[in-house]
Protein backbone atom coordinates (compact mmCIF):
# COMPACT_ATOMS: atom_id res chain seq x y z
CA UNK A 1 0.00 0.00 0.00
CA UNK A 2 2.71 2.49 1.04
CA UNK A 3 6.21 2.05 -0.27
CA UNK A 4 9.06 4.29 0.84
CA UNK A 5 12.18 4.12 -1.28
CA UNK A 6 15.62 5.45 -0.36
CA UNK A 7 14.34 8.60 1.33
CA UNK A 8 16.93 11.23 2.22
CA UNK A 9 16.24 14.53 4.02
CA UNK A 10 18.71 17.23 4.91
CA UNK A 11 17.86 20.01 7.38
CA UNK A 12 20.26 22.89 7.96
CA UNK A 13 23.19 21.02 6.44
CA UNK A 14 22.55 17.89 8.51
CA UNK A 15 21.35 14.56 7.11
CA UNK A 16 18.27 13.90 9.26
CA UNK A 17 17.00 10.96 7.18
CA UNK A 18 19.41 8.65 5.34
CA UNK A 19 18.34 6.05 2.81
CA UNK A 20 15.05 5.15 4.45
CA UNK A 21 13.15 2.28 2.78
CA UNK A 22 10.20 0.25 4.06
CA UNK A 23 6.65 -0.63 3.14
CA UNK A 24 3.29 -0.82 4.85
CA UNK A 25 0.59 -3.34 3.98
CA UNK A 26 -3.14 -2.75 3.97
CA UNK A 27 -5.01 -3.48 7.21
CA UNK A 28 -1.90 -3.47 9.39
CA UNK A 29 -0.53 -1.41 12.27
CA UNK A 30 3.12 -0.38 12.12
CA UNK A 31 4.87 1.11 15.13
CA UNK A 32 7.75 3.55 14.59
CA UNK A 33 10.20 3.71 17.47
CA UNK A 34 13.58 5.24 18.18
CA UNK A 35 15.34 7.50 20.66
CA UNK A 36 14.65 11.23 20.87
CA UNK A 37 15.84 13.14 17.82
CA UNK A 38 16.46 10.14 15.52
CA UNK A 39 14.14 11.58 12.86
CA UNK A 40 10.72 9.97 13.45
CA UNK A 41 8.67 13.16 13.10
CA UNK A 42 10.76 14.28 10.12
CA UNK A 43 10.06 10.92 8.46
CA UNK A 44 6.32 11.13 9.10
CA UNK A 45 6.19 14.70 7.77
CA UNK A 46 8.15 13.64 4.68
CA UNK A 47 5.69 10.79 4.02
CA UNK A 48 2.72 13.13 3.74
CA UNK A 49 4.42 15.89 1.78
CA UNK A 50 4.68 18.48 4.59
CA UNK A 51 8.44 18.19 4.00
CA UNK A 52 9.93 17.50 0.57
CA UNK A 53 12.50 14.72 0.62
CA UNK A 54 15.86 15.58 -1.00
CA UNK A 55 16.12 12.13 -2.52
CA UNK A 56 13.95 9.05 -2.82
CA UNK A 57 10.21 8.65 -3.23
CA UNK A 58 7.03 7.79 -1.41
CA UNK A 59 4.58 5.65 -3.37
CA UNK A 60 0.99 5.12 -2.31
CA UNK A 61 -0.68 2.26 -4.19
CA UNK A 62 2.07 2.68 -6.78
CA UNK A 63 1.62 6.45 -7.21
CA UNK A 64 4.34 8.91 -6.25
CA UNK A 65 2.70 11.30 -3.75
CA UNK A 66 4.92 14.20 -4.90
CA UNK A 67 3.38 14.23 -8.39
CA UNK A 68 -0.07 12.81 -7.62
CA UNK A 69 -1.56 15.19 -5.05
CA UNK A 70 -4.95 13.41 -5.19
CA UNK A 71 -3.31 10.54 -3.30
CA UNK A 72 -3.26 12.78 -0.22
CA UNK A 73 -7.03 12.14 0.10
CA UNK A 74 -6.11 8.64 1.19
CA UNK A 75 -3.44 9.53 3.76
CA UNK A 76 -4.09 11.60 6.88
CA UNK A 77 -1.43 12.83 9.28
CA UNK A 78 -2.29 13.47 12.94
CA UNK A 79 0.53 15.59 14.40
CA UNK A 80 1.53 15.67 18.05
CA UNK A 81 0.65 19.34 18.43
CA UNK A 82 -2.58 21.06 17.50
CA UNK A 83 -1.85 24.73 18.21
CA UNK A 84 -2.50 25.69 14.56
CA UNK A 85 -6.16 24.85 15.09
CA UNK A 86 -6.67 26.57 18.45
CA UNK A 87 -8.87 29.30 17.01
CA UNK A 88 -11.12 26.87 15.18
CA UNK A 89 -14.57 26.03 16.53
CA UNK A 90 -15.36 22.29 16.27
CA UNK A 91 -17.99 23.12 13.64
CA UNK A 92 -15.41 25.05 11.58
CA UNK A 93 -13.06 22.07 11.77
CA UNK A 94 -15.79 19.83 10.43
CA UNK A 95 -16.34 22.25 7.52
CA UNK A 96 -12.60 22.32 6.85
CA UNK A 97 -12.19 18.53 6.86
CA UNK A 98 -15.39 18.11 4.84
CA UNK A 99 -14.03 20.54 2.23
CA UNK A 100 -10.61 18.83 2.05
CA UNK A 101 -11.59 15.15 2.24
CA UNK A 102 -14.20 14.03 -0.31
CA UNK A 103 -15.30 11.05 1.79
CA UNK A 104 -15.42 12.83 5.15
CA UNK A 105 -18.33 11.27 7.06
CA UNK A 106 -19.94 14.04 9.14
CA UNK A 107 -22.52 11.83 10.84
CA UNK A 108 -19.87 9.26 11.81
CA UNK A 109 -17.78 12.12 13.22
CA UNK A 110 -20.69 13.24 15.45
CA UNK A 111 -21.30 9.64 16.53
CA UNK A 112 -17.65 9.33 17.59
CA UNK A 113 -17.70 12.72 19.30
CA UNK A 114 -20.56 11.43 21.42
CA UNK A 115 -18.88 8.07 22.04
CA UNK A 116 -15.83 9.85 23.46
CA UNK A 117 -17.85 12.48 25.34
CA UNK A 118 -16.35 15.44 23.52
CA UNK A 119 -18.28 18.72 23.18
CA UNK A 120 -19.26 20.06 19.76
CA UNK A 121 -20.01 23.64 20.80
CA UNK A 122 -16.57 24.96 21.72
CA UNK A 123 -13.33 26.21 20.23
CA UNK A 124 -10.36 23.84 20.08
CA UNK A 125 -8.48 26.24 22.38
CA UNK A 126 -10.82 25.31 25.25
CA UNK A 127 -10.06 21.58 24.93
CA UNK A 128 -7.49 19.92 27.20
CA UNK A 129 -4.37 18.33 25.61
CA UNK A 130 -5.95 14.89 25.75
CA UNK A 131 -9.32 16.10 24.40
CA UNK A 132 -7.51 17.68 21.44
CA UNK A 133 -5.66 14.44 20.74
CA UNK A 134 -8.93 12.53 20.77
CA UNK A 135 -10.65 15.13 18.59
CA UNK A 136 -7.99 14.92 15.86
CA UNK A 137 -7.91 11.13 15.92
CA UNK A 138 -11.69 11.13 15.49
CA UNK A 139 -11.43 13.66 12.65
CA UNK A 140 -8.79 11.55 10.91
CA UNK A 141 -10.87 8.36 11.16
CA UNK A 142 -13.93 10.21 9.82
CA UNK A 143 -12.05 11.12 6.63
CA UNK A 144 -12.27 7.43 5.68
CA UNK A 145 -8.62 7.63 4.60
CA UNK A 146 -6.84 4.34 3.89
CA UNK A 147 -3.71 5.21 5.85
CA UNK A 148 -3.55 7.25 9.04
CA UNK A 149 -0.18 8.40 10.31
CA UNK A 150 -0.14 9.32 13.99
CA UNK A 151 2.69 11.11 15.80
CA UNK A 152 2.57 10.31 19.53
CA UNK A 153 -1.23 9.85 19.54
CA UNK A 154 -1.69 8.94 23.19
CA UNK A 155 0.39 11.74 24.71
CA UNK A 156 -1.68 13.51 27.32
CA UNK A 157 -4.46 10.92 27.39
CA UNK A 158 -5.52 9.45 30.72
CA UNK A 159 -5.34 5.69 31.16
CA UNK A 160 -9.02 5.15 30.38
CA UNK A 161 -9.04 7.38 27.29
CA UNK A 162 -5.86 5.62 26.11
CA UNK A 163 -7.50 2.21 26.35
CA UNK A 164 -10.63 3.45 24.63
CA UNK A 165 -8.76 5.03 21.76
CA UNK A 166 -6.43 2.06 21.21
CA UNK A 167 -9.40 -0.31 21.26
CA UNK A 168 -11.21 1.99 18.83
CA UNK A 169 -8.21 2.13 16.45
CA UNK A 170 -7.95 -1.68 16.52
CA UNK A 171 -11.66 -1.97 15.68
CA UNK A 172 -11.30 0.46 12.77
CA UNK A 173 -8.31 -1.46 11.39
CA UNK A 174 -10.09 -4.82 11.55
CA UNK A 175 -13.41 -3.52 10.22
CA UNK A 176 -12.31 -1.22 7.43
CA UNK A 177 -8.87 -2.54 6.43
CA UNK A 178 -7.41 0.79 7.44
CA UNK A 179 -3.62 0.95 7.95
CA UNK A 180 -1.93 2.84 10.76
CA UNK A 181 1.62 4.08 11.15
CA UNK A 182 2.17 5.19 14.74
CA UNK A 183 5.23 6.89 16.16
CA UNK A 184 5.35 6.53 19.92
CA UNK A 185 7.59 6.30 22.96
CA UNK A 186 4.87 4.26 24.70
CA UNK A 187 6.35 0.91 23.78
CA UNK A 188 3.91 -1.07 25.93
CA UNK A 189 1.02 0.31 23.88
CA UNK A 190 2.70 -0.28 20.53
CA UNK A 191 3.54 -3.81 21.58
CA UNK A 192 -0.14 -4.56 22.18
CA UNK A 193 -1.45 -3.27 18.86
CA UNK A 194 1.37 -3.39 16.26
CA UNK A 195 1.88 -6.03 13.60
CA UNK A 196 5.30 -4.65 12.66
CA UNK A 197 7.87 -2.47 14.41
CA UNK A 198 10.25 -0.15 12.58
CA UNK A 199 13.20 0.84 14.75
CA UNK A 200 15.16 3.96 13.79
CA UNK A 201 18.68 4.87 14.81
CA UNK A 202 20.40 8.18 13.92
CA UNK A 203 18.31 8.91 10.82
CA UNK A 204 18.41 5.35 9.49
CA UNK A 205 16.27 2.24 9.77
CA UNK A 206 17.87 -0.05 12.33
CA UNK A 207 15.38 -2.89 11.87
CA UNK A 208 11.94 -3.82 10.60
CA UNK A 209 10.52 -6.80 12.45
CA UNK A 210 7.06 -8.31 12.88
CA UNK A 211 5.95 -8.61 16.51
CA UNK A 212 5.38 -12.30 15.85
CA UNK A 213 9.01 -12.81 14.76
CA UNK A 214 10.26 -10.66 17.63
CA UNK A 215 8.47 -12.88 20.16
CA UNK A 216 9.92 -15.98 18.50
CA UNK A 217 13.47 -14.74 18.15
CA UNK A 218 13.97 -12.86 21.41
CA UNK A 219 13.53 -14.48 24.82
CA UNK A 220 14.18 -13.18 28.28
CA UNK A 221 15.59 -15.33 31.06
CA UNK A 222 16.09 -14.64 34.74
CA UNK A 223 18.87 -16.59 36.40
CA UNK A 224 20.42 -16.76 39.87
CA UNK A 225 23.70 -18.57 40.58
CA UNK A 226 24.86 -19.79 44.00
CA UNK A 227 27.83 -17.46 44.07
CA UNK A 228 25.87 -14.66 42.33
CA UNK A 229 28.38 -14.51 39.48
CA UNK A 230 27.41 -14.94 35.84
CA UNK A 231 29.79 -17.44 34.19
CA UNK A 232 32.12 -15.78 31.70
CA UNK A 233 31.26 -18.49 29.12
CA UNK A 234 27.65 -17.22 29.01
CA UNK A 235 28.63 -13.56 28.66
CA UNK A 236 30.92 -14.49 25.76
CA UNK A 237 28.01 -15.90 23.72
CA UNK A 238 27.27 -13.43 20.94
CA UNK A 239 23.50 -14.02 21.06
CA UNK A 240 23.24 -13.48 24.82
CA UNK A 241 23.10 -10.09 26.48
CA UNK A 242 22.82 -9.26 30.15
CA UNK A 243 20.19 -6.52 30.25
CA UNK A 244 20.07 -6.04 34.01
CA UNK A 245 21.44 -7.26 37.30
CA UNK A 246 19.74 -6.65 40.62
CA UNK A 247 21.63 -8.28 43.49
CA UNK A 248 22.16 -11.89 42.46
CA UNK A 249 19.37 -11.84 39.88
CA UNK A 250 20.66 -11.57 36.31
CA UNK A 251 18.27 -10.90 33.42
CA UNK A 252 19.42 -12.10 30.01
CA UNK A 253 18.09 -11.33 26.56
CA UNK A 254 18.62 -14.23 24.17
CA UNK A 255 18.50 -13.66 20.44
CA UNK A 256 17.89 -16.91 18.58
CA UNK A 257 18.18 -20.42 19.98
CA UNK A 258 17.02 -20.22 23.58
CA UNK A 259 17.12 -24.01 24.22
CA UNK A 260 20.85 -24.20 23.57
CA UNK A 261 21.49 -21.32 26.00
CA UNK A 262 19.24 -22.87 28.66
CA UNK A 263 21.20 -26.12 28.36
CA UNK A 264 24.51 -24.34 28.93
CA UNK A 265 23.07 -22.41 31.87
CA UNK A 266 21.82 -25.66 33.46
CA UNK A 267 25.39 -27.00 33.47
CA UNK A 268 26.21 -24.28 36.02
CA UNK A 269 23.36 -25.55 38.28
CA UNK A 270 21.62 -22.22 38.84
CA UNK A 271 19.41 -21.74 41.90
CA UNK A 272 16.78 -20.19 39.64
CA UNK A 273 16.29 -20.25 35.91
CA UNK A 274 13.05 -18.98 34.51
CA UNK A 275 11.75 -17.62 31.25
CA UNK A 276 10.03 -14.22 31.38
CA UNK A 277 7.81 -12.56 28.78
CA UNK A 278 9.92 -10.47 26.40
CA UNK A 279 8.77 -6.88 25.95
CA UNK A 280 9.31 -4.40 23.14
CA UNK A 281 11.06 -2.23 25.72
CA UNK A 282 13.64 -5.03 26.30
CA UNK A 283 14.33 -5.14 22.56
CA UNK A 284 14.55 -1.35 22.42
CA UNK A 285 17.00 -1.12 25.31
CA UNK A 286 19.04 -4.00 23.93
CA UNK A 287 19.27 -2.51 20.44
CA UNK A 288 19.65 1.17 21.31
CA UNK A 289 20.66 1.28 24.96
CA UNK A 290 24.24 2.21 24.18
CA UNK A 291 23.30 5.25 22.09
CA UNK A 292 23.52 8.78 23.44
CA UNK A 293 20.89 11.35 22.48
CA UNK A 294 21.57 12.04 18.79
N1 LIG B 1 13.04 22.57 11.59
C2 LIG B 1 14.20 22.03 12.01
N3 LIG B 1 15.31 22.77 12.07
C4 LIG B 1 16.48 22.25 12.49
N5 LIG B 1 16.64 20.96 12.88
C6 LIG B 1 15.55 20.18 12.85
C7 LIG B 1 14.27 20.66 12.42
N8 LIG B 1 13.39 19.64 12.51
C9 LIG B 1 14.09 18.57 12.97
N10 LIG B 1 15.37 18.89 13.16
C11 LIG B 1 16.43 18.00 13.67
O12 LIG B 1 16.26 16.75 13.05
C13 LIG B 1 16.50 15.69 13.96
C14 LIG B 1 15.30 14.78 14.02
O15 LIG B 1 14.21 15.47 14.62
P16 LIG B 1 12.78 14.76 14.78
O17 LIG B 1 11.85 15.75 15.39
O18 LIG B 1 12.40 14.19 13.47
O19 LIG B 1 13.14 13.59 15.80
P20 LIG B 1 12.16 12.58 16.59
O21 LIG B 1 12.72 11.22 16.40
O22 LIG B 1 10.74 12.80 16.18
O23 LIG B 1 12.38 13.03 18.10
P24 LIG B 1 11.44 12.93 19.40
O25 LIG B 1 11.32 11.46 19.73
O26 LIG B 1 12.22 13.65 20.43
O27 LIG B 1 10.12 13.58 19.08
C28 LIG B 1 16.86 16.34 15.29
O29 LIG B 1 18.26 16.40 15.37
C30 LIG B 1 16.29 17.74 15.16
O31 LIG B 1 17.05 18.65 15.91
- Ligand 1 and 81: CB distance under 6 A: no
Percent with pLDDT over 70 in the chain? 98
Summarised one tens digit per residue, pLDDT across range 80-108 is 888 888 999 999 999 999 999 999 999 99
Minimal-distance CA residue to ligand 1 atom 28: 37
pLDDT of residue 291: 62
Enter the DSSP assignment of 231. -
Q: How far apart are CA 215 and CA 135, in angstroms?
A: 34
Enter the DSSP assignment of 4. E
- The residue whose CB lies within 8 Å of the most ligand 1 atoms, and thus the one to mutate among 16, 181, 198, is 16
Taking a C-beta distance cutoff of 8 angstroms, is the pair 72, 49 a contact? yes
Mean pLDDT of 71-88: 91
Q: How many Cβ atoms from other residues are within 10 Å of residue 292's Cβ?
A: 5
Q: From residue 261, give the alpha-carbon distance in Å to each of 21, 175, 212, 258.
A: 34, 42, 21, 5
What does the mean pLDDT of the chain come to? 91
pLDDT of 116 strictly over 50: yes
pLDDT of residue 294: 44
Q: How far apart are CA 94 and CA 104, in angstroms?
A: 9
- Ligand 1 and 180: CB distance under 6 A: no
Minimal-distance CA residue to ligand 1 atom 12: 16
ipTM of the complex: 0.97
The DSSP secondary structure of 185-224, one letter per residue, reads S-HHHHHHH-SEEEEEETTEEEEEEEHHHHHHHEEEEEEE
- Position with higher pLDDT, 291 vs 197: 197
Amino acid sequence: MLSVKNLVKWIEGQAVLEDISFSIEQGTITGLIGRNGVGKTTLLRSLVGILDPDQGEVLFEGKNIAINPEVKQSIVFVPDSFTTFNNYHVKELIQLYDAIYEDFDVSYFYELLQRFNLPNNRKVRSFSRGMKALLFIILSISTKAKLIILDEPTNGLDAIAKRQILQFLLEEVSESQLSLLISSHHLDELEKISDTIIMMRAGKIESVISMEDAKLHYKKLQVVFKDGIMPEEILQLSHVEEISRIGRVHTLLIKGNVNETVQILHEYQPLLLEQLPMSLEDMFVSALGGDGIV
